């Protein structure tokens, strides 16, 4: 059997061992307050009158989420919550963590169907798309990096950093996990980690070290 590949790079037999998505539903890791983040994002996009929603009305409608570029699907629980808050339902046609290759399927893949009132579909559209695009992008880059280090023979843990977009850390850390790398510490309170700036500020002979 030929080795699997990602972006043209051959993987070791068996591909990527131990992806987090193989061990359970990653949505169960999310804190309960993530729903308030999504409420805030929806309020940011429609803080007052929704004129477009007034025009289109409340007729029931289906919308389709399409993938047009190669990548790892990530961000499912965030999209689910966006539309749950708008009384819509989402039916997923692919599992989170799968590598989507639309070039092999006519240029695009329908990954989800959303059903609800037309105005509510459009209220959630941009928040949902921005979130899943960002999360999937992080997951795709994470998967590529873990593939590359495995091909190079590295068998340890590849971890992310705190260098995330302010206000979007939970989404991006979630994308790392879906992609297959360790999220490392989530914030400054997660572990004691003194770096070079701490050392320089206190002096190398400081008793604090």
Active site amino acids: 163
Tell me how far apart the alpha carbons of residues 122 and 52 are, in angstroms, rounded to a whole number: 8
Please report the DSSP string for 51-70 in residue order.
HHHHHH-S-EEEEEEEE-S-
**Residues 121-148 as b or e (16 or more Cβ within 10 Å = b):** bbbbbebbebbbebbbbbbbbbbbbbbe
């Amino acid at each position: 059997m030929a080795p699997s590949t990602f972006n043209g790079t051959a993987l070791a037999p068996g591909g990527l061992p131990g992806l987090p998505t193989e061990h359970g539903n990653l949505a169960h890791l999310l804190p309960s307050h993530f729903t308030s983040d999504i409420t805030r994002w929806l309020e940011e996009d429609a803080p007052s009158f929704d004129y477009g929603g007034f025009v289109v009305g409340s007729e029931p409608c289906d919308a389709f989420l399409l993938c047009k570029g190669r990548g790892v699907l990530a961000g499912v629980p965030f999209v689910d919550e966006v539309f749950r808050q708008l009384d819509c339902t989402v039916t997923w046609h692919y599992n989170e963590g799968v590598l989507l290759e639309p070039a092999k399927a006519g240029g695009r893949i329908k990954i989800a169907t959303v059903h609800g009132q037309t105005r509510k579909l459009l209220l959630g559209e941009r928040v949902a798309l921005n979130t899943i695009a960002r999360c999937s992008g992080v997951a795709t880059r994470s998967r590529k990096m873990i593939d590359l280090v495995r091909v190079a023979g590295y068998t340890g843990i590849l971890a992310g950093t705190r260098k995330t977009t302010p206000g979007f850390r939970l989404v991006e850390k979630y994308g790392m996990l879906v992609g297959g790398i360790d999220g490392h510490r989530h914030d400054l309170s997660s572990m004691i980690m003194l770096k070079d700036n701490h050392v320089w500020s206190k002096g190398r002979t400081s008793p604090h070290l």
